[in-house]
A = this chain, B = another copy of it.
């Protein structure tokens, strides 16, 4: 779709907000956007799009907060930094932007040793370097609990892939294997140390930057990164695009540590990509993706015309399945 009817640098590419899916967090955002009126423009995608020099910059922010996203003792300082940066960089991947740089805003408990803060920032630096970007600066304040605010800037060549754009008949595809982060959190919650592979999926998620560019080149029509879980994130894609998704549980690519597909669809903080690809995209193309990246790309569902709730229906071998409870911030 045409991105902009203006090249005036004060304007963002899209002045209308992209509709968000259901959930108490998004009810709060909808209410706030209604109150902001014309003082807010172009919200609701994984990034904001800002014209700059004939191209577009993609901007996003993402907070990692102790007690919400992790608990003290789960991760080392450098893992906390990597994870916070990777989660934010994943928003750039979700729109097929190439990361340029980040700012890091840290609220740090006063009892943290100086070296431990340097470890955290080194983790940020590693995640940022891994996608070819740099740390531009940041902000450090005292806080009772650790909170890391990441602000990321990427460059768009051509148009972004947005949450809107999926059409009935499109396939719903996901990168990687789902469930590792949820299995890790479940283990910690039960007082156990997670198994190594699941722990790594939680501690060092990888923003799928190159994968996103590949998907865009191969026709991705809408995309989101899996931060809340495939089920709630597919609902956002559905709300934005005006389609309803059917997800076949037996098709889901599962991480070995997760119990089953009903757990995997609500595994958040995966930072895998969930993309709408046209009907012509099939197993041959998926094999090309896997050969290029060493990561599976799996068709897990398809789009139908919307118009009735829910935005996502789960089926197993064709029979409807009750959706599980997904994490909500509020």
State which of B121, B124, B138, B144 has its C-beta within 8 Å of the C-beta of A61: B138
Q: Which residue of B is nearest A49, CB measured?
A: B136
| Chain B residues with CB under 8 A of A41 | 134-136
Contact call A59/B330, Cβ cutoff below 8 A: no
If A147-B65, A151-B103, A330-B142 touch, whether A36 touches B122 (CB-CB below 8 Å) is yes
Tell me which of B31, B65, B121, B126 contacts A107 (CB under 8 A): B65
Query: Which secondary structure dominates where chain A touches chain B?
Result: mixed
On chain A, which size bracket covers the interface?
35 or more
**A29 to B139 CA separation, bound complex (whole angstroms):** 9
Q: A60 near B12 (CB under 8 angstroms)? A: no
Is A196 among interface residues, defined by CB-CB distance under 8 A? Answer: no
The answer to whether A100 touches B25, judged by C-beta atoms less than 8 angstroms apart, is: no
CB distance A139 to B101 under 8 Å? no
A160 to chain B, nearest CB (A): 13
Question: Does A144 lie within 8 Å of B67, measured CB to CB?
Answer: yes
- Bound-state Cα–Cα, A172 to B60, Å: 37
CB-CB nearest in chain B for A68:
B142
Contact with B along A295-318 (1 / 0, CB 8 A): 000000000000000000000000
As a 0/1 sequence over residues 55 to 78 of chain A, the CB contacts with chain B under 8 angstroms (1 = contact) are: 101011111010111000000000
Q: A residues bordering B, Cβ < 8 Å?
A: 9-10, 12, 25, 27-29, 31-32, 34-45, 47-48, 50, 52-55, 57, 59-63, 65, 67-69, 100-101, 103-108, 110, 114-115, 117-122, 124-126, 128-129, 132, 134-145, 147, 149, 151, 153, 155, 329-330
